[in-house]
Structure 1
Amino acid sequence: MKRFVLAAILLLLVPIQLYAQFFRKVLESGIYFQWGYNRDFYTKSDMHFSNGDKYNFTLYGVRATDKPDYEAFYKNPIDITIPQNSCRLGFYLDSKREHAIEVNFDHAKYVMIDGQRLRMSGIINETPFLFDTVVSRNFIHVEHTNGANFLMLNYFGQTPLIERKRSQLNLTWRVGGGVVVPRSDIILMGKRLDNKYHVAGYIGAGEVGTRYYFFKGLFLEASAKVGYANYLDALAMEGGKISHSFFFTEFIGLLGYELALKRKEAKVETQ
C-alpha cells in the first residue's frame, strides 16, 4: 500500500514539475499579445441535418463565404469586435524568443450562399426523397456569424530574415489544433433561431507569415493559414443538429506587443 501511495505521489509530481519548468521559462523569456482582422475562404461542404424522426437529410456541395463586416468601423467604431477578428496570447519558451506556445482565437464568419442549385437527399416526416433544387433562404439558410470561432493551441516559431539596428523582419510559422465554438443563425423550413455558443467540433491548421518589429516590442504581422474544420453537431432549433466540414484559407493582419515578465538582474562591478 505504501508503495502504491508513493508511486501515485511521484506521478502527480511529474506534471507539477513540468508546469513549474514551463512557467519559469515564460517568466525568463516573456509573453506577447496580438490583435487584428481576417478574411476567410471555404471549400464546398456537405451539410447533414438531423432531428430524430422529423428529418434526416443532406445538402451536397454547399458553397459559403465569409462576412468581414468592416463597415462596422464607421457605424460603431467603439466595438472593434464586430468585424472578423483574430487575437493571440503567446508564451515564449527561450531567451531568443524564437519559440512559443500560443492561444489563438479567430472570430471568423461562415455564411451559406442563398439561391444555390444543390442535390438534396434523405427523409423529411418519414418521406424519402432525392432531387436537385434551388435552395431559397426561407427554406434553408445556415450561417455561423456570431462566429465560426476557431479556438486553437499553437506551437509558434520565428526566424530572423533581416536585422537592422532598430528594426527586424522575421519569418513566422505556426501549427496547432483545437475546437470550433460557433454561435449559429439557422433558418430551416420557415423557422429561425439565433442559437447559443456551443463546442461543436474540432479544427487543425498550419500558418506561415512575416513579423516586422519596428519600435520597442511593437510589431506587425501578416500571415496565411490553411486548415480543416469539422462541425460535428452545430445546433439547430428544437433539438436538431447540423454537421459539415470544410477546408479553409485565412489571411490575417495583426498588431502585436511583447514584454518581459522578469527584469534582468544588474551586474555588480568589482574593482
Structure 2
Amino acid sequence: MKRASILVLALLFGRKINAQEIISKPISEAKIGKSLFSNSTQRDFSRKGQFYVHWGWNFSWYDKSDITFQGPGYDFTLRNVKAKDRPSKLSLDYVNPMELTTPQFDFRFGYFFKDNYSISIGWDHMKYVMDIPQKVTIDGYINATVSNPAIATGSYAGVYKDQELDVKDDMLTFEHTDGLNYVSAELERYDDIWIAKNKKQMLTMETGVGAGFVIPRSDVRFFGVGENNFWNFAGYGVSLKAGLKFNVTRKLYFQNVTKAGYIDMDKIRTTGRNDIDKAKQTIRFLENYTAIGYQF
C-alpha cells in the first residue's frame, strides 16, 4: 500500500510540473521590423526566411565622362564625352522568353535574413552609346600610325593640350551595348508605408546599397578598326537605390526603383588586340527600372 501511494504521488507531481511548463512556455511571435513611417505594426507576419526574384526593364542616363585610349603610338583622353542609353523599341522582345536579354533589363534574386532586411545578387543590363559626332576636349598624342599592325590616323595625328576636337565616326565608334553589365550584391531595407486590412496588398519603400563587377561587351571602332568584343571583367561599380514596391498579394509584386551609381573600368577592349590596345573610363549613372517579382 505504501509503495502504491508513493507511485500515485509521483505521477500527480509529475503531471503538475508538466502542466506548469506548458502554461509558462511563451508563445512565439513573428518579429516584424519597425517602419520609419509608423510606430505601430500593421502586419501580422514576418518576411524573414523568404526568397524573392524579380525581372524588369530599365532606362538610364549618364553624366559626361572622360575616356582614355592607350596603345602603341597613342595615349590621349577625350574629356566630357556625352552618351545615352539605347532602349529597344516596344515589341514582343519584352515578353518573348527567347529575347528577354535583348532589351535593357534588370534581374535580381534575394533572401530576407530579417523581416525588413534582405541581401541579393543581380544583373543590371544597361546600354551606353557615345554620341557621334560630338565636340570634346582632347589631351595627349596620336601618331600618324598606331597599334600593331599599323592603323593610319590621318588628320587626327598630333599632340594635343586642352584642344577642341570634332570626333566623327571615321575616328571612333564607342558603345557598351551588349551591354554595360553591372553584376552586384546589394543590401536592402524595407519600410511599410500602407497595408490593406486584409494584410495582402501593401506599399513599401525599399532602399539599398550595392557593389560589384562591370562586365561589358564593348563595340568599338578605332580609326576604322575594331569589333564587338567579347565580355570581360573591365572594372567595378558601387550604387545606391530607393524605390517603391507594391504587393498585389503577399507573393506577387510590382516595383519601381531609381539607382544612382559610379563605375570605374580600366580594361575596356577596343580594337580586339587586347594585349596592346585598351581604353579606360569612369561613368556616373542614374537608372530607373520597373519590375515584376515573386516572393516565396
Q: TM-score, normalised to structure 1's length? A: 0.80
Task: Identify the residue that residue 258 of structure 1 maps to in structure 2.
Answer: 295
**Would you say how many aligned residue pairs link Structure 1 and Structure 2?**
230
Task: Identify the residue that residue 101 of structure 2 maps to in structure 1.
Answer: 81
Corresponding residue to 2:124 among 101, 106, 128: 106
SS in 1 for 2:92: helix
Corresponding residue to 2:180 among 142, 148, 169: 148
Change in Cα spacing, 1:171 to 1:112, as seen in structure 2 (3 Å) is same
1:208 and 2:228 matched: no
- Tell me the CA shift for residue 46 of structure 1: 0.8
SS in 2 for 1:86: strand
Task: Identify the residue that residue 205 of structure 2 maps to in structure 1.
Answer: 171
- Tell me the CA shift for residue 255 of structure 1: 0.4
Instruction: Tell me if structure 2 keeps the 8 A contact 1:73–1:80.
Output: no
Larger radius of gyration: 2
Corresponding residue to 2:268 among 207, 213, 234: 234
The CA distance in 2 between the partners of 1:36 and 1:256, in whole Å, is 9
Letter in 1 for 2:78: L
The CA distance in 2 between the partners of 1:223 and 1:209, in whole Å, is 4
Instruction: Tell me if structure 2 keeps the 8 A contact 1:160–1:169.
Output: yes
Task: Identify the residue that residue 92 of structure 1 maps to in structure 2.
Answer: 112
1:137 and 2:169 matched: yes
The CA distance in 2 between the partners of 1:183 and 1:39, in whole Å, is 18
The CA distance in 1 between the partners of 2:91 and 2:143, in whole Å, is 42
Deviation digits for residues 206-260 of structure 1, max 9, x if unmatched?
Answer: 000011111240000101111111111111122311111121110110100010x
Letter in 1 for 2:184: M
The CA distance in 2 between the partners of 1:76 and 1:185, in whole Å, is 26
Instruction: Tell me if structure 1 keeps the 8 A contact 2:263–2:283.
Output: yes
- Tell me the CA shift for residue 54 of structure 1: 2.5
Deviation digits for residues 73-129 of structure 1, max 9, x if unmatched?
Answer: 3699441211100000001102x3x11111021000000000101122212238651
Deviation digits for residues 129-160 of structure 1, max 9, x if unmatched?
Answer: 11322111221111000011011110011011
Task: Identify the residue that residue 191 of structure 1 maps to in structure 2.
Answer: 225
The CA distance in 2 between the partners of 1:186 and 1:221, in whole Å, is 34
Moved over 4 A (4+): none
Matches within 5 A, 1:28-47: 29-47=49-67
Corresponding residue to 1:59 among 74, 78, 81: 78
Instruction: Tell me if structure 2 keeps the 8 A contact 1:72–1:82.
Output: no
The CA distance in 1 between the partners of 2:286 and 2:48, in whole Å, is 35
When the two chains are superposed, the root-mean-square deviation of aligned CA atoms in Å is 1.9
The CA distance in 1 between the partners of 2:250 and 2:78, in whole Å, is 52
Q: TM-score, normalised to structure 2's length? A: 0.74
The CA distance in 2 between the partners of 1:54 and 1:99, in whole Å, is 52
Of all paired residues, the percent bearing the same amino acid is 27
Letter in 1 for 2:85: D
Letter in 2 for 1:55: Y
Instruction: Tell me if structure 2 keeps the 8 A contact 1:111–1:144.
Output: yes
Change in Cα spacing, 1:111 to 1:89, as seen in structure 2 (3 Å) is same
Unaligned stretches of 5+ in structure 1?
1-26, 260-271
Change in Cα spacing, 1:74 to 1:252, as seen in structure 2 (3 Å) is closer
Corresponding residue to 1:69 among 79, 88, 100: 88
Corresponding residue to 2:283 among 220, 238, 246: 246
Letter in 2 for 1:123: Y
